[in-house]
Amino acid sequence: MTANGERGLVGLDPTSGPLERQDSRSLAERPASLDGAVIGLVANGLGQGEDFLAALYDELNSLCAPNGAVRVLKQSVSVAPEPADWARLTSEVSVAITGFGG
């Protein structure tokens, strides 16, 4: 019973937990410069995504001095990159760029 005589009730949390990550992972620090960086370009395969990322790399190349690009085209538009693509990205690139939509 509550102070005003109402019967209280209990509700259960319907979620799978807090949205915030509970582990020690965090975003990598933003690099101070892209000079000398290898840029990962991860395309989802929709629309003109590859062309857009290529144009974006050209734009970066005109603004600073990146050390080349690693291009990844996802095997499917509907799922995450495959393990081999993740391995390439984590071992070969300094910064990766991706997008969503078509």
78 binds other proteins (CB under 8 A): yes
Whether 94 contacts 31, CB under 8 Å = yes
Min separation Cβ 4 and other proteins, Å? 8
Residue 62 has, within 13 A of its CA and on its CB side, a CA count of 5
The identity of residue 1, as a single letter, is M
Q: What string marks each residue from 27 to 66 as x (binds other proteins by CB under 8 A) or -?
A: ------------------x---------------------
2 binds other proteins (CB under 8 A): yes
9 binds other proteins (CB under 8 A): yes
DSSP assigned state of 42: E
Whether 99 contacts 77, CB under 8 Å = no
* Residues contributing to the site for other proteins (CB under 8 A): 2, 4, 6, 8-16, 19, 45, 75-80, 100-101
